[in-house]
Amino acid sequence: MAALRTLWMGLVLLGVLGVLQTRAEAQVSLQPNFQQDKFLGRWFTAGLASNASWIREKKAPLPMCTSLVAPTEDGGLNLTITFLRKDQCETRTLLLQPVGPPGCYSYTSQHWGSVNDVRVVETDYVEYALLHTESTKGPGQDFHIATLYSRTQTPREEVKEKFAAFAKAQGFTEDTIVFLPQTDKCMEGHQ
Protein backbone atom coordinates (compact mmCIF):
# COMPACT_ATOMS: atom_id res chain seq x y z
CA MET A 1 0.00 0.00 0.00
CA ALA A 2 2.83 2.42 0.87
CA ALA A 3 4.55 1.62 -2.44
CA LEU A 4 1.31 2.32 -4.35
CA ARG A 5 0.88 5.63 -2.51
CA THR A 6 4.50 6.62 -3.28
CA LEU A 7 4.01 5.73 -6.94
CA TRP A 8 0.78 7.76 -7.05
CA MET A 9 2.47 10.81 -5.46
CA GLY A 10 5.35 10.51 -7.93
CA LEU A 11 2.95 10.46 -10.87
CA VAL A 12 1.04 13.47 -9.50
CA LEU A 13 4.30 15.40 -9.07
CA LEU A 14 5.41 14.51 -12.60
CA GLY A 15 2.06 15.71 -13.93
CA VAL A 16 2.32 19.01 -12.05
CA LEU A 17 5.90 19.49 -13.20
CA GLY A 18 4.87 18.71 -16.77
CA VAL A 19 2.14 21.35 -16.65
CA LEU A 20 4.52 23.90 -15.14
CA GLN A 21 7.18 23.12 -17.73
CA THR A 22 4.66 23.40 -20.58
CA ARG A 23 3.50 26.79 -19.25
CA ALA A 24 7.08 28.07 -18.98
CA GLU A 25 7.88 26.90 -22.50
CA ALA A 26 4.69 28.49 -23.81
CA GLN A 27 5.71 31.87 -22.36
CA VAL A 28 9.10 31.86 -24.10
CA SER A 29 8.63 32.29 -27.82
CA LEU A 30 11.18 31.60 -30.54
CA GLN A 31 12.56 33.72 -33.37
CA PRO A 32 10.41 32.83 -36.40
CA ASN A 33 12.42 31.35 -39.28
CA PHE A 34 15.65 31.52 -37.27
CA GLN A 35 18.69 31.69 -39.56
CA GLN A 36 21.73 30.35 -37.70
CA ASP A 37 24.21 31.60 -40.32
CA LYS A 38 23.12 35.21 -39.71
CA PHE A 39 23.46 34.74 -35.94
CA LEU A 40 27.16 33.85 -36.17
CA GLY A 41 29.93 36.28 -35.23
CA ARG A 42 30.71 38.55 -32.32
CA TRP A 43 28.13 39.71 -29.80
CA PHE A 44 28.50 41.74 -26.63
CA THR A 45 26.52 40.69 -23.56
CA ALA A 46 24.93 44.04 -22.82
CA GLY A 47 22.11 43.05 -20.46
CA LEU A 48 21.14 40.28 -18.05
CA ALA A 49 18.15 39.41 -15.93
CA SER A 50 18.11 36.37 -13.70
CA ASN A 51 16.63 34.70 -10.67
CA ALA A 52 20.16 33.63 -9.65
CA SER A 53 21.32 35.23 -6.42
CA TRP A 54 24.92 35.59 -7.68
CA ILE A 55 23.79 38.03 -10.39
CA ARG A 56 21.98 40.23 -7.87
CA GLU A 57 25.00 40.11 -5.55
CA LYS A 58 27.62 40.82 -8.24
CA LYS A 59 25.74 43.02 -10.69
CA ALA A 60 27.60 46.21 -9.73
CA PRO A 61 31.10 44.93 -10.64
CA LEU A 62 29.91 42.75 -13.55
CA PRO A 63 31.32 44.23 -16.82
CA MET A 64 30.24 43.54 -20.38
CA CYS A 65 31.73 40.45 -22.02
CA THR A 66 32.10 39.21 -25.57
CA SER A 67 30.62 36.10 -27.10
CA LEU A 68 31.90 34.66 -30.33
CA VAL A 69 29.39 32.37 -32.04
CA ALA A 70 30.79 29.89 -34.58
CA PRO A 71 29.21 26.87 -36.30
CA THR A 72 30.12 23.27 -35.50
CA GLU A 73 30.24 20.46 -38.05
CA ASP A 74 27.16 18.79 -36.56
CA GLY A 75 24.91 21.85 -36.91
CA GLY A 76 25.44 23.21 -33.41
CA LEU A 77 27.24 26.29 -32.17
CA ASN A 78 30.48 26.95 -30.35
CA LEU A 79 29.85 29.86 -28.01
CA THR A 80 33.14 31.29 -26.74
CA ILE A 81 32.63 33.79 -23.95
CA THR A 82 35.44 36.07 -22.76
CA PHE A 83 34.95 38.04 -19.56
CA LEU A 84 36.88 39.94 -16.92
CA ARG A 85 37.19 38.20 -13.56
CA LYS A 86 39.43 39.45 -10.76
CA ASP A 87 41.30 41.72 -13.22
CA GLN A 88 42.08 38.78 -15.53
CA CYS A 89 40.51 37.73 -18.80
CA GLU A 90 38.84 34.33 -18.70
CA THR A 91 37.42 32.37 -21.61
CA ARG A 92 34.79 29.63 -21.56
CA THR A 93 33.52 27.71 -24.55
CA LEU A 94 30.09 26.15 -24.57
CA LEU A 95 29.00 23.61 -27.16
CA LEU A 96 25.37 24.34 -27.98
CA GLN A 97 23.65 21.32 -29.49
CA PRO A 98 20.50 21.91 -31.57
CA VAL A 99 17.31 20.57 -29.98
CA GLY A 100 13.86 21.09 -31.38
CA PRO A 101 13.13 23.82 -33.91
CA PRO A 102 15.87 26.17 -35.24
CA GLY A 103 16.98 28.59 -32.53
CA CYS A 104 16.70 26.03 -29.68
CA TYR A 105 19.93 24.68 -28.19
CA SER A 106 21.10 22.73 -25.17
CA TYR A 107 24.44 22.51 -23.37
CA THR A 108 25.81 20.93 -20.22
CA SER A 109 27.62 23.22 -17.80
CA GLN A 110 31.06 21.86 -16.93
CA HIS A 111 31.06 23.97 -13.76
CA TRP A 112 27.62 23.05 -12.39
CA GLY A 113 26.87 19.79 -14.21
CA SER A 114 23.47 21.15 -15.17
CA VAL A 115 21.71 20.89 -18.52
CA ASN A 116 20.78 24.29 -19.94
CA ASP A 117 18.22 25.03 -22.63
CA VAL A 118 18.88 28.18 -24.68
CA ARG A 119 16.33 29.81 -26.98
CA VAL A 120 16.92 32.67 -29.37
CA VAL A 121 13.66 34.48 -28.72
CA GLU A 122 14.13 37.49 -30.99
CA THR A 123 16.88 38.90 -33.18
CA ASP A 124 17.38 41.20 -36.12
CA TYR A 125 20.87 39.63 -36.58
CA VAL A 126 22.57 43.02 -37.18
CA GLU A 127 21.88 44.90 -33.94
CA TYR A 128 20.50 42.76 -31.11
CA ALA A 129 19.36 39.34 -29.94
CA LEU A 130 17.20 38.38 -26.96
CA LEU A 131 17.97 34.97 -25.45
CA HIS A 132 16.33 32.94 -22.70
CA THR A 133 18.20 30.22 -20.81
CA GLU A 134 16.60 27.74 -18.46
CA SER A 135 18.43 25.26 -16.26
CA THR A 136 17.60 22.80 -13.53
CA LYS A 137 20.42 21.78 -11.21
CA GLY A 138 18.22 19.76 -8.90
CA PRO A 139 14.89 19.82 -7.06
CA GLY A 140 13.95 23.41 -6.32
CA GLN A 141 17.01 24.83 -8.09
CA ASP A 142 15.55 26.23 -11.30
CA PHE A 143 17.67 28.90 -12.91
CA HIS A 144 16.39 31.33 -15.54
CA ILE A 145 18.28 34.05 -17.35
CA ALA A 146 17.36 36.54 -20.04
CA THR A 147 20.26 37.94 -22.05
CA LEU A 148 20.61 40.93 -24.33
CA TYR A 149 23.23 40.43 -27.02
CA SER A 150 24.33 43.51 -28.96
CA ARG A 151 26.64 43.77 -31.96
CA THR A 152 28.09 46.95 -30.39
CA GLN A 153 29.08 47.91 -26.86
CA THR A 154 26.52 50.72 -26.93
CA PRO A 155 23.05 49.37 -27.72
CA ARG A 156 20.44 51.96 -28.58
CA GLU A 157 18.01 53.02 -25.84
CA GLU A 158 15.12 51.42 -27.77
CA VAL A 159 16.95 48.07 -27.70
CA LYS A 160 17.51 48.38 -23.95
CA GLU A 161 13.81 49.15 -23.46
CA LYS A 162 12.88 46.15 -25.61
CA PHE A 163 15.11 43.94 -23.43
CA ALA A 164 13.65 45.32 -20.18
CA ALA A 165 10.11 44.64 -21.45
CA PHE A 166 11.14 41.13 -22.56
CA ALA A 167 12.73 40.40 -19.16
CA LYS A 168 9.65 41.65 -17.29
CA ALA A 169 7.41 39.50 -19.50
CA GLN A 170 9.50 36.51 -18.33
CA GLY A 171 8.72 37.39 -14.70
CA PHE A 172 11.91 39.25 -13.83
CA THR A 173 11.61 42.34 -11.65
CA GLU A 174 13.36 45.68 -12.09
CA ASP A 175 15.98 44.80 -9.43
CA THR A 176 16.98 41.63 -11.31
CA ILE A 177 17.61 43.43 -14.63
CA VAL A 178 21.09 44.83 -15.18
CA PHE A 179 22.77 46.57 -18.11
CA LEU A 180 26.47 45.78 -18.11
CA PRO A 181 28.95 48.66 -18.45
CA GLN A 182 31.23 48.58 -21.47
CA THR A 183 34.92 47.93 -21.00
CA ASP A 184 38.04 47.81 -23.13
CA LYS A 185 39.46 44.90 -21.16
CA CYS A 186 39.23 41.40 -22.66
CA MET A 187 37.78 42.71 -25.93
CA GLU A 188 40.81 42.40 -28.21
CA GLY A 189 41.15 39.30 -30.36
CA HIS A 190 37.40 38.75 -30.60
CA GLN A 191 36.58 40.51 -33.83
Active-site residues, by number, are 65
Count Cβ atoms below 10 Å from residue 112 Cβ, excluding itself. 13
Q: Which residues contact residue 36 at a Cβ distance below 8 angstroms, ignoring those fewer than 6 apart? A: 71, 75, 77, 102, 103
Strands, E, within 8-87: which ranges? 41-50, 65-71, 77-85
The residues with which 144 forms a beta bridge, in sequence order, are 134
Closest CA to 96 of 73, 79, 113, 115: 79
d(CA 74, CA 63): 32
